[in-house]
Amino acid sequence: MNRFLTSTIDHAHPDMDYIVKDKLLLERVIGMELMEPLDKSIFYNDDSHSFSDVLFYGNEASLLIFDTLFFCVVDLGTQDLVLAAILTFVQQTVFQFIRNASGQKNMAAKSLVDKRFLT
């Protein structure tokens, strides 16, 4: 798979050619692409770093502070460290499930790939 994608980026497949361009002003304002790719695929330059916005890159400290605050509030309210630890774990598991489910739904909607084919 890696070799195939690398060869596609290197224009090794003439039937799978692409062009790289900047978004138009209207496309940047409304946040979606208006042009349909006819003969060639279109890759857009990502000036707004929208790919890295999807990741937790740089948000680790905020997540740690949130987990610590949640743990402290539950501990303060119940006066039970074990219960606070268990509820913090459950809260993280629920958030992870929601994040994965919404991420798969978003990926299926944006890539036009059926949800069953996403891992």
Structure pTM?
A: 0.52
Q: Would you list the DSSP string of 39-96?
A: SSEEEEP-TT-HHHHHS-TT-HHHHHHHHHHHHHHHHHHH--HHHHHHHHHHHHHHHH
Give the C-alpha separation, 59 to 70, whole Å.
17
pLDDT digits (tens, 9 = 90+) for 93-112: 999 899 888 887 877 777 77
What are the 10-residue block averages of pLDDT along the chain, 119 residues in total? 79 79 83 76 75 72 93 96 96 90 80 69
3-state secondary structure of 113: coil
Give the C-alpha separation, 44 to 33, whole Å.
9
* Type of residue at 85: A
